[in-house]
Amino acid sequence: MSARVALVTGAGGGLGTVIAAGLHAAGYRVALADLDEVAAAAAAAALDPGGETALPLGLDVRDKAQWERTLSALLERWGAAHVLVNNAAMTVARPVMEVSPEEFDAVLAVNLRGTFLGCQVFGAHFRDRSHGRIVNLASLAGQNGGTATGAHYAASKAGIVALTKVFARDLAAGGVTVNAIAPGPLDTPMVHRTVPPERMAALQAAIPVGAIGDPRFVASLVVQLASPEAAFATGATWDVNGGLYMR
């Protein structure tokens, strides 16, 4: 059987790069999409300098036409698409009473609209071929109303949890699963930008396990949910938060 093909958005850095690396290590051909094409190219070259199994793509997740072109690029390059990981996100740490309407809309356009459009475009393609895996990156902030990353970020991530259920229900009969992963604070550049060094010790002390998370574990969970064997897992939000939120 030929190698499976995955697209990871927001793969030019941070968690997206780690997820792309995890899928690549598992044998996937991986397209690394990012608004920053230079960053996507660098991340792809780090995985496969020859460009045979890692493809960088520019993608503005807010634009449905660009999603359609991205899918076409995968099909032209590798003849298939099996997995979508909606990871692209915008984070602005700002007190809720200071968030402008424009900033609120901008964050939701990337995080929530982007996830919606990806699920629409790739979900239809997967459904028509009776197989596909979609993994959406939600967040602990969308479950507990966390404010460290901004109220608009939290609201967008809560919306992703709901969209995951909607698409999971709609696409299940077509052989497509849709799941979300909701990480707590991870050892990523985004977390270190949001939490200044003088607050990091207090943050870790507030986490029941006493440390922030390893993004490589999130990548391994993506690989598991993306596998052909994961057909019975759908519509779920998988928590990876060190015990900060239990249910």
- Residues marked as catalytic: 153
Neighbours of 71 (CB within 10 A): 19
Could you tell me the end-to-end alpha-carbon distance of the chain, in angstroms, rounded to an integer?
40
**Look-up of token digits 């870790």:** 204
Interior angle at CA 180, CA 83 and CA 231, nearest 5? 55
> What backbone phi and psi angles, to 5 degrees, belong to 6?
-130, 145
CA distance 110 to 19: 19
Cross-strand bridge partners of residue 83: 6, 133
